[in-house]
Chain A
Amino acid sequence: MTEKKEKREIVIPGEIIASEEFLPGDWTMKQGKNIISTRLGIVEKSDKLVKVIPLSGVYIPRYGNVVIGEVKDITTAGWVVDVKGPYQAFLPLRECPGFVEVSEMENVYGIGDLLVTKIFNVGRTSVDLTMKSRDRSLNKIREGTIVTVNPHRVPRVIGKEGSMITLIKNATKTNITVGQNGLIWVSGEKVESELAAKKIIEFIVENTTADGLTEKVEKFIKDLEDKK
């Protein structure tokens, strides 16, 4: 337990986090004989590698991430999508399942539509998206509620192997899709259940650093049900 506490130490940019024998990983750099952090985050040391897990800031697109984005523009080659990252993302026409006529593009995904989409390529200043998937999980959002959270807290909302999200799904009888960029899509039969799910997600995001989060969330859900 004490070892776990040590791992959760917060570091600031420029702070020395390790000596020469470690290799600098994500968000770290070598400065003289030391390795320093370049971001506000938590240090994670494994065997030889030391890296920093960021705590705040804008979403950084990564290959394979499922994200929720808004269609901003339509060009003859595809759709321009805002995924809340530092760069605009692009969904090429060929990455849309089925055959789409250029004149029909508006009817498929119009401006302002929200899409559950996947990042299939990250370039230096570009992000490419795809809507093709084997299980048809990538689609246009037609109904439901969107909850926006800090993208760095998304892993806590999902929980270990999806334990937390399953807990919310079962408690509120809703369907939840979590975008890695911090947008969460909740859809249920009743608006009340969607709002309940939203409240639970917001509770998790506010208490990410708490010990025994699962128990606290279970208690929170019980309190919500008692109020009804």
Chain B
Amino acid sequence: MAYTKRFDGRKTDELRETSAKVGVVPNADGSAIFQQGDTIAIAAVYGPKILHPKNQQNPEKGVLRVHYNMLSFSVGERIKPGVSRRSQEISKVTEWALAPVVMLEELPGTVIDVHINILQANAGTRCAGINAAAMALAHAGVPMKEMISAVAIGQMGTTIVSDVTKEEEDYEEDGEKAATDIPIAMLSNSEKITLLQLDGQLPVKKMKEVLEAGRDACKKLHEIQKNALKEYK
């Protein structure tokens, strides 16, 4: 049977209930919390500040460092706290997703530290992390060319759906894994893509449909980020 109705009753292009807020970590220079359904990410930005040790400084432009971390209670089975291979990879791709919009050339010799913590996970944690981090960077007063929004698009059998949940990620058809997970991060004005990953299988022809769905979802998410930032006084 094909996947025609979603497990939680959403339309195929409908996002989970999303909320956002800035200024949640009082000691950070900038911070934000972003919630997509049961996935909650909190991002804190420290800096721009001087980078030590000095040999890591770049006299041409600033350095952006991202630390992604899943808290041990964020998933059903407790995960070992600390850095893992997975968290290192996500830190790196998040850094690459954020770096093109941050005007690091205006801050030579400095470092901007971004700490992303996942309080609760139900798929799409790297996307929620990027959404929170973009808002936290804006709150920290770091000069940015645009905003970034990210969403996980999925293919269930042959149906394209937006903002997948864990249940959908594990979707099976005839006892075989039939779900594909495609996280996309898109810039708000130029609609350039800064993150595109693919876990599973996808026909090349479908890619256009996936990117269309990603663009629509990112636009909706950008609206939420914008409203949350404008509420900051």
- Chain A residues within 8 Å of B, Cβ to Cβ: 10, 12-16, 27, 29, 31, 36, 38-40, 54-58, 86-88, 124-125, 208-209
Contact = CB atoms under 8 A, between A and B. Distances in A.
A62 to B, nearest CB: 15
Contacts of B225: 12
Nearest to B227: A12
B62 to A, nearest CB: 9
Contact of A13 (B49, B59, B145): B145
A38 B30 contact: no
A14 B229 CA distance: 12
Contact of A57 (B108, B141, B233): B141
Contacts of B109: 87, 125
A209 B143 contact: no
B47 interface: yes
A54 to B, nearest CB: 5
Interface of B: 29-30, 47-50, 59, 101, 103, 107-110, 138-147, 187-189, 225-226, 229-230, 232-233
A38 B108 contact: no
Given A58-B48, A86-B49, A14 B139 contact: no
Given A86-B110, A88-B50, A10 B229 contact: yes
A86 B30 CA distance: 14
Contact of B232 (A10, A16, A31): A10
Given A86-B48, A86-B110, A124-B108, A56 B232 contact: yes
Contacts of B140: 56-58
Contacts of B108: 124-125
Given A58-B49, A125-B109, A31 B189 contact: yes
A38 B101 CA distance: 10
Nearest to A10: B230
8 contacts: A12-B230, A14-B101, A14-B188, A29-B145, A39-B141, A39-B143, A56-B140, A86-B47
Contacts of A14: 101, 144-147, 187-189
Contacts, number: 84
Contacts of B143: 13, 27, 38-39
A209 B226 CA distance: 19
B141 A86 contact: no
A221 to B, nearest CB: 23
Contacts of B189: 14, 16, 31, 36
Given A14-B147, A58-B140, 10 more contacts: A13-B143, A14-B145, A16-B189, A38-B144, A57-B142, A58-B48, A86-B48, A87-B50, A87-B110, A124-B108
A27 B225 CA distance: 20
A13 B139 contact: no
Contact of B30 (A10, A36, A57): A57
Contacts of B29: 56-58
Contact of A40 (B107, B138, B188): B138
A58 B109 CA distance: 15
Contact of B145 (A31, A40, A56, A124): A31
A38 to B, nearest CB: 4
A40 B232 contact: yes
Contacts of A86: 47-50, 107, 110
B54 to A, nearest CB: 11
Nearest to A40: B138
A173 B144 CA distance: 44
A38 B233 CA distance: 18
A70 to B, nearest CB: 15
